[in-house]
Amino acid sequence: MSDCLFCRIASGELPAELVYEDDDVLAFRDIHPKAPTHVLLIPRRHVPTLADAEDPALLALLMQRVQYVADEVLGLAAGYRVVINVREGGGQEVFHLHIHILGGKKMPF
Ligand code: 5GP
Ligand code: ZN
């Protein structure tokens, strides 16, 4: 989707500070971090929201990659928070499914 911000990052058309990528996903630092470590993990495939992600294999893959990136790439051994905002009411601003990985401080409720 040429008009999708995160598709354009995934294709390399727009720059991002990548921390991990493979054939299925990429992870890059949020441009407005809300914690000392704030990374967004996205599927390369354009899926607008969590509610559109019907493939159980994709959902499992995303969660496995979150584990890997948080622990092995970012070294968030003390713990981290995983957030998915869904649609406008959930605070979603970019309509390409993304998982926030937040850490580096004790997260307040
Ligand atoms: P949402 O509110 O949709 O769950 O989260 C979108 C996130 O994308 C926000 O935290 C915002 O800071 C981040 N963001 C928006 N535009 C860009 C961008 O161009 N590059 C990067 N790296 N992050 C972005
Ligand atoms: Zn997209």
Flag whether 32 is in a domain. Answer: yes
Cα of 77 from ligand 1 centre, angstroms: 24
Q: Is 32 part of the annotated catalytic residue set?
A: no
Q: Check: CB of residue 65 under 8 Å from CB of residue 24.
A: yes
pLDDT, tens digit, for every residue of 43-76?
999 999 999 999 999 999 999 999 999 999 999 9
Residue 23, Cβ density class (10 Å: 0-12 exposed, 13-18 middle, ≥19 buried): exposed
Residues with CB under 6 A from ligand 1: 5, 16, 28-32, 40, 85, 91-94
User: Which ligand has the minimum distance to the alpha carbon of residue 85?
Assistant: 1
Q: Check: CB of residue 90 under 8 Å from CB of residue 98.
A: no
Q: Check: CB of residue 98 under 8 Å from CB of residue 31.
A: no
The parent domain of residue 30 ranges over 5-103
**Number of the ligand 1 atom closest to the C-alpha atom of 93:** 3
In this prediction the pTM is: 0.97
Flag whether 63 is in a domain. Answer: yes
Residue 31: give its domain's CATH number: 3.30.428.10
Residue position matching structure tokens 């899926």: 47
